[in-house]
Amino acid sequence: MQYVCVLGVGLLFGIGLIVSGLADPAKVLNFLDLAGAWDPSLLFVMAGASAVAAVGFRLARRRGQSLLGAPLRLPAPGAIDRRLVLGSVAFGVGWGLSGFCPGPALVAIGAGYAEALIFGAAMVAGMAVFEVAEWLHRRARTPKPAAETGS
């Protein structure tokens, strides 16, 4: 039952991305072009989505579990740090250059946009670079046994 619900929610989300125009990179780039052919329609989509999400998060915090009874892992408020700012800048630059962000890119890949395939490959490569960097960072912070250090 859980997988059926996940599939249904994913399909509903994808349909919403198509109907709203977020899966069309030209529409997104026109929204981001404040000095040119600015298309403010996505502003209304984002405002509506934010309002629905705010209500959903409020109800979810009150319930403490999903509708199917699974425990919720809601994000906790945190400090704005360098990693958050750099990640936000990278996301914004990628969105502005390509007209895609991860969710709409997956929908656009399904719709046959060749540009979305290129974006998707770059996104996967970026995630791989992040994972390797995190692994190297954890490895550098882990103390080595005495036998390896030559002591």
**pTM for the structure as a whole:** 0.68
Give yes or no for a contact between 104 and 28, defined as CB atoms under 8 angstroms apart. yes
Give yes or no for a contact between 120 and 106, defined as CB atoms under 8 angstroms apart. yes
Mean pLDDT of the residues in the chain: 87
Band of pLDDT at residue 85, cut at 50, 70 and 90? very high
Give yes or no for a contact between 22 and 108, defined as CB atoms under 8 angstroms apart. no
**Predicted local distance difference test score (pLDDT) of residue 149:** 59
